[in-house]
Chains A and B, each alone.
Chain A
Amino acid sequence: MMPTSQIAASDAVAIEVGGIAIALRTQDHGFRQLLEHRYAGFVKSRLHPQFEFDIDLFDDVSDPSETAHPDDDVRVRMQDGQWLLQRGDFRAQWDSRSGRGRVRQSRNPYAIDSVLRIVHTLILAKQGGFLVHAASAIRGGQAFLFAGLSGAGKTTISRLAPPEATLLTDEISYVRREGDGYWACGTPFAGELGKLGENLSAPLHTVFLLEQGLENRIEPVATSEAIRLLLRNILFFAEDAELVNLVFRSACEFVERIPVRRLTFVPDQRVWNMIM
């Protein structure tokens, strides 16, 4: 059970993704406004967040006292009971037991965006879910997920979605375990479409592995191949053998329960006639 506290609307923004609320606290009014605008639709007021981060901003990303190097790759590891998250433009620490953390970052909103993504991957790993590089949408009360290599068509199929389909994301899909099933949740993590997903969720019906081709067709995918291709798209950053093992097991269990199909498609709206 995580401790909770009612956030003061004056200095914090609570962002809820996948039913998990994370409060971001900053004294910088301008940055708070930026967050409220950036995550519109996912910002919750009068909420008891499960997790909280205090954000300190620095202005000069090239200042060697702030970062080892602005181009440093992301690194996530456990040290002295706390998660340490680091990239060229941010350093964060997070105590998953108390739910509290601190972020020291540049004003680049994508820095906190990356922190949020990483924290959600850590939370989900223990719950049997994951973030995956995939588009997703709800149609007819069911969620469909579209994964594939870059250029395979995630943005294209999102753009082609019919009006009655609700786009959850064109970039990072949120998969949550619920009993024996899985739910897909909307995320504010946008890709080339540049549009936030809707903050909704639905039971996951099928995962489609995208390929563009000369005709529309759906084919089965062998279980081992489905696991391999799904794992290629799952986001996980932590250098932690136990959690990596959990994510691997989650992918295996997921493929046992959710159909994975290869969807070859011509990039026009007719492909959505096959998705229901």
Chain B
Amino acid sequence: MMIMSAVDSTFFTLNEVATVIWQAADGCTPLSDIVASQVCREFDVDPDQAGRDVEQFVNDLSQHGILLVSEQPIPNSPASPPEAR
């Protein structure tokens, strides 16, 4: 998958694992759940290593402004519950 930043038109070509993370990042699901339920299940990788790799990937994307990292569910995200909107 390739994604383009609307901030500066930079492109990112993602591998299969990164694509799963990008598609699962719905503003509501915790990163740890994405790692456990998507990455480890689909790619048979060590959870600790997967956690570190995913964190680095997410930080890279957030530094480019195309992924927002939050301690709380993000309001108005596609998967946020109705009361949070």
Contacts and interface: CB of A to CB of B under 8 A. Distances in A.
B43 to A, nearest CB: 15
A205 interface: no
B9 A110 contact: yes
Interface residues of A, number: 23
Name the residue among A117, A149, A172 with the largest chain B CB count within 10 angstroms: A149
**Contact residues on B (Cβ < 8 Å of other chain), bracket:** 10 to 19
Interface in B1-40: 2, 4, 6-15, 18
Contacts of B60: 150-151
Nearest to A89: B6
Interface in A67-81: 70-71, 74
B10 A171 contact: yes
Interface in A113-166: 113-114, 117, 133, 148-151
B4 to A, nearest CB: 7
Contact of B6 (A88, A117, A149, A235): A88
Interface string A51-69: 0000000000000000000
Q: Which of B8, B11, B14 is most buried by chain A, counting CB atoms within 10 A of its CB?
A: B11
A89 B15 CA distance: 28
28 contacts: A87-B6, A88-B6, A110-B6, A110-B7, A110-B8, A110-B9, A113-B9, A114-B4, A114-B9, A133-B2, A133-B13, A148-B13, A149-B18, A150-B11, A150-B12, A150-B13, A150-B14, A150-B18, A150-B60, A151-B60, A171-B10, A171-B11, A172-B11, A191-B11, A232-B13, A233-B2, A233-B13, A235-B2
